[in-house]
Chains A and B, each alone.
Chain A
Amino acid sequence: MTMRVLAQSRGFSLWPESASTSAEDVDLVYLALLGLTLFFVVLIGAMALGFGVKYRAGAKSFRDHPIRKTLPIELTWIVAPLVMTLVIFVWGASVFVDLGTPPADARSIYVVGKQWMWKVQHPGGRQEINELHVPTAESIKLVLTSQDVIHSFYVPAFRIKRDALPNQYTSLWFRATRPGVYHLFCAEYCGTDHARMRGSVVVMTPTDYQQWLAEEVTERRSDGATRGRDEEKESGPDSATSRRIDVSTSPSAFVEFGCAACHQSNTTDAGPNLAGLFGRTVRLADGRVVVADEEFLRRSILEPNHAIPSGYGNSSSMPTYAGQINDDQMAELVEFIKSLETNGEGATQPDWPATTP
């Protein structure tokens, strides 16, 4: 299991490993702050030490040179630190914006946190527990949620973390640079075994990654029943049925919940066509303008009334699927909707009203 990988001991070190593009960006801001810290610590320390020695009781120093104009001095130590901190703010914020904006071509992987494990679902249905295999040189977007309390997905070698919240999707993205096995921690305290909610991120070269994917497929096909991987044992009932989503055909959840009855017909009176919806900016009946991201799709399935497209009345005719749909099925549906191209699947026109043509 995971501990096997973590048992490979790492040496004592004062600087964390870095294995992603984000790590380099964050480290630079950190180093700048370190420089700022040293500057002020040395400045204040030198002043304290200098005055402290020169003006100690008993020292025969000349003491009668008072400062007559205090305002310029006060302004100096207000304005100079202000400018320095504002520069650091802008820098940190711009890196944060980059790290919060996944590239459009990022590969989406769904991660569910629960007490006390991480469950990973790859596109194509591949599942892992407390391990995440990713290739280098490809942008990976993790879509996070939780089945119970708040967890936080944290990979120190990538310098990123993001909370996984119940009943909500959040996301983070990274681009791994160096193959290796890296720590995965839960950073948000989540109960008794929070400390053991650890895993590893396995970064592979693209070639190895393809090989790894293929191996797994061969393994599954040859002997699906006797795969004795440790992860499967501790993964609980959900992963016992390791499901493969094949988004090119109708996924089971899409059929099971009867989504196509309203969403894949060419009629316009039932529900909006879903083709090409993902990633678009859409206008809602109440005038709001939102981006249809993963969280928007998830919430629309659970709470259809939270966002009604303009032109579909003021309340939704769609029933809520809250309580009927599990995290795996949700990930499957969201991925399927994302995969629907505007002109594929016999869809005619996207009838979600766009804000820009």
Chain B
Amino acid sequence: MTTLDTLTVAAPSYLASRWSLRSWLLTLDHKRIAILYLVSITGFFFIGGAAAVLMRLELATPESDVVQSAVYNRLFTIHGTVMVWFFLIPSIPAVLGNFLVPLMIGARDLAFPRLNLLSWYLFMAGGVLAIGSIVAGGVDTGWTFYTPFSTTYANSAVIPMVAGIFISGFSSILTGMNFVVTVHTMRAPGMTWFRLPLFIWAMYATSLIFVLATPVLAITLALIGIERIWGVGVFDPALGGDPLLFQHLFWFYSHPAVYIMVLPAMGIVSELIPCFARNPIFGYRFIAYSSLAIAILGFLVWGHHMFVAGQSLYASMVFSILSFLVAIPSGVKVFNWIVTLRNGTIQYKTPMLYALGFIGLFTVGGLTGLYLASLAVDLHVHDTYFVIAHFHYIMVGGAVMAYLGGIHFWWPKMTGRMYPEAWGVFSAVLLFFGFNLTFFPQFLLGYLGMVRRVAEYPPEFQVLNVLSSAGASILGVAYLVPLVYLTASLIRLPSAERNPWKATGLEWETSSPPTEFNFVQAPVVTSPPYAYPPLGAIAEPPATGVQEASSG
């Protein structure tokens, strides 16, 4: 180990190797591309968040007073499209996945570094078009683009928005393909499939969805454009089309897309829990296989978005039972994480708080998914705030909590700096309370019958809406605090050690931040993952990657 440290000091880190703008914009280094994504999706996150702030402000009163309906409809479209396609879907895969996949498997880079850079440019091109559509008057279709409204009736900038999402979809496809090929072909010697960190299993399962589902979204969005521009009847019955065809195609992508958002989050939690419990993960294989089970079953449940849309009764029953089944592998993960705590020596550091917060909120989000899978209850709560609350528990309570946990956990590795622990704990706790205050009242509103996508609502719903808006203001602060202290940490805080958490995994065996080519010498893996020292000793685990001179 001492030799390793001397060696890494000799070579500059990937951040310090070159300084020009060109060296960033034309970089082929997966770590620099990850940073490009980190900066860009943070920008998109705050654009989408600003729209949410205005929406919650408007919903504080039953009348439309802060903004009128036409503006409100554009706000929720911005919020949905930007958050789904330009923040949540790229968040963990494109930032942490890009950074960590080669490091965790002991590779120098992804299999196709140029495609990796191309995928960032495609993402940005799509993002610029999407933001352009907002500048050009906004889009009022909602992120779901239901036909025939989006193709025939919407009088707004649908085409640039759809084109932007279409283009950014190719970024997803390329990233997914890159990860699949990398995991198959570039694992270090000794890194067998069942020695892979569970984050890699999750990224692998996610990549399969990227590659298999995103093309369907591209086709669907292209068809919207073709019908809207040239009047070719695909979805509009007035032109001989079928509006339900759109919903089938859209949800065939967009339901698996939910798992694109949450599978990587589960992967992060599977790294954080054993590290801060100082315990090997319980049920490694079950967690690994459950990621694949979720990815596969996730493709077969799209029809649960259409129980009240005129889908046949028998189709609805099949989709209902499959939707119940997809809850089982998620439950397996939750139970395994909890039992991992047993016999541990638990340190409540910021990333661990985010991981535990994830488990709590994801459990509620997952269980409320069963209400929507149940045919009878969906009849009532479909398209109400119950749905809004449910998927925010999954996507914000789940995906965003895990993303922030991961950012804090790997921040020392990515930047070479520690974050301030006290501020980290403060914002994690604040976020948990702000989140629950924002979204728990929405479950109640949904069962009371408040429908989604409305700027006005009956006065008896006001109390719960005010609570939700109050929660949103806390949540907003809880997002801004990390932005400030993480940015400040880059200049003010001490440099990070190579392995500040005493964690297992190859990424911790190289310097913080790593050199351009990750490892000075190609690692060879000789032991299983999560080999934390027994009986909770908080000490450096034995290295899994033995540094050996290798011809490569």
Q: Is the CB of B238 within 8 A of A191?
A: no
Say yes or no for A189: interface residue by CB 8 A criterion: yes
Q: Is the CB of B341 within 8 A of A187?
A: no
Q: Is the CB of B283 within 8 A of A89?
A: no
A-B contact count (CB 8 A): 257
Q: Which of B334-360 contact A (CB under 8 A)?
A: 334-336, 338-339, 341-348, 356, 359-360
Say yes or no for B128: interface residue by CB 8 A criterion: no
Say yes or no for B458: interface residue by CB 8 A criterion: yes
Q: Is the CB of A37 within 8 A of B367?
A: yes
Cα A149 to Cα B237 in complex, Å, equals 10
Cα A154 to Cα B504 in complex, Å, equals 54
Of A63, A85, A189, chain B has the most CB atoms within 10 Å of the CB of: A189
Cα A148 to Cα B149 in complex, Å, equals 8
- Nearest A-chain residue to B345, judged by Cβ: A57
User: Which of A69-77, A250-258, A332-340 binds B?
Assistant: A69-77
Q: Is the CB of B363 within 8 A of A91?
A: no
Interface residues on B, range: 35 or more
B338 contacts across to A, CB distance below 8 A: 44, 47-48, 51
Say yes or no for A321: interface residue by CB 8 A criterion: no
Say yes or no for A88: interface residue by CB 8 A criterion: yes
Q: Which of B257-286 contact A (CB under 8 A)?
A: 277-278, 282-283, 286
Cα A45 to Cα B356 in complex, Å, equals 10
| Binary contact readout B361-376 vs A (1 if CB under 8 angstroms, 0 otherwise) | 0011001101101111
Contact of A161 among B153, B283, B308, B348 (CB under 8 A): B308
- Nearest B-chain residue to A157, judged by Cβ: B449
Cα A195 to Cα B70 in complex, Å, equals 10
Q: Is the CB of B282 within 8 A of A78?
A: no
Q: Is the CB of B383 within 8 A of A9?
A: no
Say yes or no for B327: interface residue by CB 8 A criterion: yes
Contact of B380 among A82, A150, A161 (CB under 8 A): A161
Asked if A16 meets B448 with Cβ closer than 8 Å, knowing A36-B367, A67-B339, the reply is yes
Say yes or no for B320: interface residue by CB 8 A criterion: yes
- Nearest A-chain residue to B309, judged by Cβ: A163
Q: Is the CB of A165 within 8 A of B243?
A: yes
B451 contacts across to A, CB distance below 8 A: 154, 185-187
A168 contacts across to B, CB distance below 8 A: 237, 310
Say yes or no for B33: interface residue by CB 8 A criterion: no
A36 contacts across to B, CB distance below 8 A: 367, 370
Nearest-neighbour CB distance to chain A for B384, whole angstroms, equals 7
Say yes or no for B457: interface residue by CB 8 A criterion: yes
Cα A41 to Cα B347 in complex, Å, equals 23
Q: Is the CB of B316 within 8 A of A89?
A: no
| Binary contact readout A151-170 vs B (1 if CB under 8 angstroms, 0 otherwise) | 01010110111110111101
Interface residues on A, range: 35 or more
Q: Is the CB of A85 within 8 A of B238?
A: no
A66 contacts across to B, CB distance below 8 A: 343
- Nearest A-chain residue to B327, judged by Cβ: A85
User: Which of B140-148, B394-402, B505-513 binds A?
Assistant: B140-148
Q: Is the CB of B317 within 8 A of A93?
A: yes
Say yes or no for A13: interface residue by CB 8 A criterion: yes
- Nearest B-chain residue to A188, judged by Cβ: B383
Q: Is the CB of A85 within 8 A of B379?
A: no
Nearest-neighbour CB distance to chain B for A70, whole angstroms, equals 6
Q: Is the CB of B153 within 8 A of A149?
A: yes
- Nearest B-chain residue to A101, judged by Cβ: B313
Q: Is the CB of A12 within 8 A of B69?
A: no
Q: Is the CB of A14 within 8 A of B536?
A: no
Say yes or no for A354: interface residue by CB 8 A criterion: no
Say yes or no for B538: interface residue by CB 8 A criterion: yes
- Nearest A-chain residue to B382, judged by Cβ: A161
Asked if A162 meets B308 with Cβ closer than 8 Å, knowing A55-B346, A150-B146, the reply is yes
Say yes or no for A249: interface residue by CB 8 A criterion: no
Q: Is the CB of A85 within 8 A of B449?
A: no
Q: Is the CB of A188 within 8 A of B146?
A: yes
Say yes or no for A40: interface residue by CB 8 A criterion: yes
Contact of B449 among A74, A93, A185 (CB under 8 A): A185
User: Which of A25-33, A222-230, A261-269 binds B?
Assistant: A25-33
Q: Is the CB of B310 within 8 A of A70?
A: no
Q: Is the CB of B360 within 8 A of A45?
A: yes
Q: Is the CB of B370 within 8 A of A85?
A: yes
A13 contacts across to B, CB distance below 8 A: 448, 460
Q: Is the CB of A150 within 8 A of B328?
A: no
Q: Is the CB of B367 within 8 A of A41?
A: yes
Contact of B536 among A6, A57, A73, A100 (CB under 8 A): A57
Q: Is the CB of A190 within 8 A of B149?
A: yes
Q: Is the CB of B458 within 8 A of A30?
A: no
Q: Could you list some 19 contacts between A and B, CB below 8 A?
A: A14-B444, A29-B374, A41-B364, A55-B346, A63-B343, A63-B345, A88-B374, A93-B317, A93-B320, A95-B375, A96-B313, A156-B448, A156-B449, A162-B310, A166-B148, A166-B236, A187-B384, A189-B149, A191-B154
Instruction: For the complex of A and B, list the 7 residue pairs with the smallest distance between their C-beta atoms, beginning with the closest.
Output: A156-B449, A96-B375, A167-B237, A92-B374, A195-B454, A95-B376, A51-B341
Given contacts A82-B325, A96-B379, 11 further A-B contacts (CB under 8 A): A10-B458, A13-B448, A16-B449, A26-B376, A26-B377, A37-B368, A41-B364, A44-B335, A66-B343, A93-B317, A150-B309
By a beta-carbon cutoff of 8 Å, the part of chain A in contact with chain B is 6, 9-16, 22, 25-26, 29-30, 33, 36-37, 40-41, 44-45, 47-48, 51-52, 55-57, 63-67, 70, 73-74, 77-78, 81-82, 85-86, 88-89, 91-93, 95-97, 99-100, 115, 148-150, 152, 154, 156-157, 159-163, 165-168, 170, 183, 185-196, 198
